[in-house]
Structure 1
Amino acid sequence: LIEEQHEGWRYRWSDGLTRRANSALAVGRTGTVDDLVARAEDYYGLRGAPTLIQVSTASAPRGLPAYLQSRGYRSTARTFVQAAAIADVVERTESRFDIEIAATPSDEWFGTYWSVEATRGRTDTDMTLYRHVLLAPELPTVFAAARRDGKVVGVVQLVVDRGWAGVQCMATAPSDRRQGVADSVLNGLAIEAAERGIGRMYLAVMATNDAGTALYASAGFRATHDYCYFADQVN
């Protein structure tokens, strides 16, 4: 991941891996919006990519969404950031499967995760990047897997940052959905986080993911803010 910063904005690039890693994050109240957007357009234009700007209700300058819309940008992928007390998550979830905790993702773990990602049009190049970049952050991380009858049926990753436990890369094998797998791995992660002395947990869920939203609400998560991506429809 390549990142440049200017006036609080973060211009990120990883050659097409994810929206987050190939977008400008609008942060802070300094700088002139039109100059910062123009810089983003130059930054991604030089790389032959469309301009994508991540706009969060927690950090973006006022008036930025309206300004982007006036320039032909359209918003997409609205996502809610949610948080919960880990004690609540432990109490409100339960594991129906054997849960394994590891410091690195096994081939089985990754195979289950990729069985879901592959349905979203990911390529072999994406697979390599996910395995060796996204799943290998510099921050402390653990991987949980739910196993049934010797088979890994669900996985999730936890990243520890400044006293918070971030939940990401949750996936359930397509043939094992609606059987409590996600609830089980979330419970396992929450217990692991509690044993590490962490008190709060957060995650991100897309606004269109009704099943995920319902699961996280039942586990005690509540929205703190939301973000979306504004895509340049003109240039």
Structure 2
Amino acid sequence: MTTVLELEERCADAWPALVDERLGGWRLRAAGGFTGRANSALTTGDPGVPVADALAAVSGFARRHEIRPLAHVVVGSPHEDAVARTGWRVDLDHPGGAESLVLTGPLAAFATPKPEGVAEGVTEGVAEGVSVPTSPSEGWWELAAQAEPTPAQRHVLGSGGVVGFGQVARDGVVLAAVRGAVVGDLLHVARLAVRPEARRRGLARALLGGLASWALGRGATTCALQVAEHNTPALELYRSLGCVEHHRYRYWAPNHS
């Protein structure tokens, strides 16, 4: 079974920040404020200094890069109590939610079967309108981020291993979008979005099936997703596809931030 440390490191590699500096086994990350994951210190390893000193370094890093100081702390990890003792608090005001679940599951459980004659790794035509190009379309950007993405968004979403920009397009309109990044044998899934008028048609499930097929053709066997605990519809979808909770993490911030 993949350890928490290994899984968190792979997820971080799949979601690359603009700046990623090591402090021992910690990773100090900044990306212009785009997402908590790319703008927080990943605290799963040993920082090599007392936790209070490490958090002071996190605060200094945040000031230099003009972001809020945040620590990404695994629930129940060895560092959690130490972070709390320094006076930092769970960031209950975090826009994406203070606590997230990391789910994992076998890709084969929800990959779309390929019709006869479709080459391995090709997803176009597996389901109507589903494709996984390696470059994002304008419609993908509009749905997954915004029509005019910032440099930070382009970096975080556009890089990180082998990246696929899954979409369902019909009549030239992108109705659903998702990002997948293959790191080793892991597919990291993020930014799943469906236009409001196109929901409840099974597009998310079809799109994830196409993305899984694409990733299987690139050596992935397992998927990982980081989902806010309040996102009930997403959690129900992923669990119905065979994903289970691996662990949880929370964002922590200084009391004065």
* TM category, shorter: 0.7 to 0.9
Q: Secondary structure at the match of 1:90?
A: coil
1:81 aligns with 2:102: yes
Q: CA RMSD for the aligned pairs?
A: 2.5
Cross-structure match for 2:42: 25
CA shift, 1:216, in A, is 0.3
CA shift, 1:113, in A, is 2.1
Q: Distance in 2 between matches of 1:54 and 1:229?
A: 5
2:103–2:246 contact (8 Å) kept in structure 1: yes
CA shift, 1:152, in A, is 1.6
Cross-structure match for 2:95: none
205, 229, 236: which one aligns with 1:214: 236
TM-score normalised by L of structure 1: 0.84
After alignment, is 28-37 or 177-186 more displaced? Answer: 28-37
Q: Distance in 1 between matches of 2:203 and 2:152?
A: 22
CA displacement 1:81-108 (0-9 Å, x = unmatched): 111111112279xx86421121111112
Q: Which runs of 5+ in 2 are unaligned?
A: 1-17, 93-97, 114-125
1:72–1:233 contact (8 Å) kept in structure 2: yes
Q: Secondary structure at the match of 1:51?
A: coil
CA displacement 1:113-137 (0-9 Å, x = unmatched): 23xx68xxxxx6xx22255212221
Identify if the C-alpha distance between structure 1 residues 42 and 160 changes in structure 2 by more than 3 Å, giving closer, same or farther: same
1:96–1:180 contact (8 Å) kept in structure 2: no
Give the letter for the 1:86 counterpart: L
Q: Distance in 2 between matches of 1:163 and 1:40?
A: 31
| 1:136-155 to 2 correspondences below 5 Å | 136-155=158-177
Cross-structure match for 1:67: 85
CA displacement 1:28-78 (0-9 Å, x = unmatched): 24431111112212222344443211112486525235325xx15233421
After alignment, is 4-13 or 83-92 more displaced? Answer: 83-92
Give the letter for the 1:32 counterpart: P
Give the letter for the 2:228 counterpart: M
CA shift, 1:167, in A, is 0.8
Identify if the C-alpha distance between structure 1 residues 91 and 130 changes in structure 2 by more than 3 Å, giving closer, same or farther: same
Q: Secondary structure at the match of 2:161?
A: coil
Q: Percent identity?
A: 28
| 1:140-219 to 2 correspondences below 5 Å | 140-219=162-241
Q: Distance in 2 between matches of 1:130 and 1:47?
A: 13
Q: Which runs of 5+ in 1 are unaligned?
A: 119-123
Cross-structure match for 2:26: 9
Q: Distance in 1 between matches of 2:143 and 2:55?
A: 39
46, 55, 69: which one aligns with 2:73: 55
2:34–2:153 contact (8 Å) kept in structure 1: no
